[in-house]
């Protein structure tokens, strides 16, 4: 029977510059996808039996949550391209 090694009690590591750049790239991709979903009509109140003004007001939250899940699932590859461009620009600024 194998034993489980204890978890180290060290402090969590601070995010690196690359981690921050990747998160910014993922955020940009999620916002882009949310706008695409908006243009596609996702979250739009149906003509009949709609949820009223509340549904209209909170549709943007639904689109953003779905866009974030799309990015989490792999997205469309935009985050990786943005990350490389941001990293190249940041390396050039040093």
Q: Which residues contact 74 (CB under 8 A, 6 or more apart)?
A: none
Q: What pTM value is reported for the model? A: 0.74
Better-predicted residue by pLDDT, 80 or 49: 80
Question: In sequence order, what DSSP letters do the residues of 27-59 get, joined into one string?
Answer: HHHHHHHHHHHHHTTTTPPPSSS---HHHHHHH
78 and 32 in contact (C-beta within 8 Å)?
yes
Tens-digit pLDDT profile for residues 19-75: 999 999 999 999 999 999 999 987 666 666 666 677 777 888 989 999 999 999 999
Domain ranges in the chain are 17-93
């Amino acid at each position: 029977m194998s034993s489980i090694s204890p978890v180290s009690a060290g402090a969590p590591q601070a995010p690196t510059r690359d981690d921050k750049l990747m998160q910014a790239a993922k955020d940009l991709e999620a916002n882009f996808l949310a706008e695409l979903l908006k243009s596609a009509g996702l979250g739009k109140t149906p003509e009949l039996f709609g949820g009223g003004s509340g549904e209209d007001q909170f549709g943007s939250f639904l689109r953003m949550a779905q866009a974030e899940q799309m990015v989490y699932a792999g997205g469309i590859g935009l985050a990786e391209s943005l990350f490389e461009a941001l990293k190249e620009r940041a390396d050039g600024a040093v």
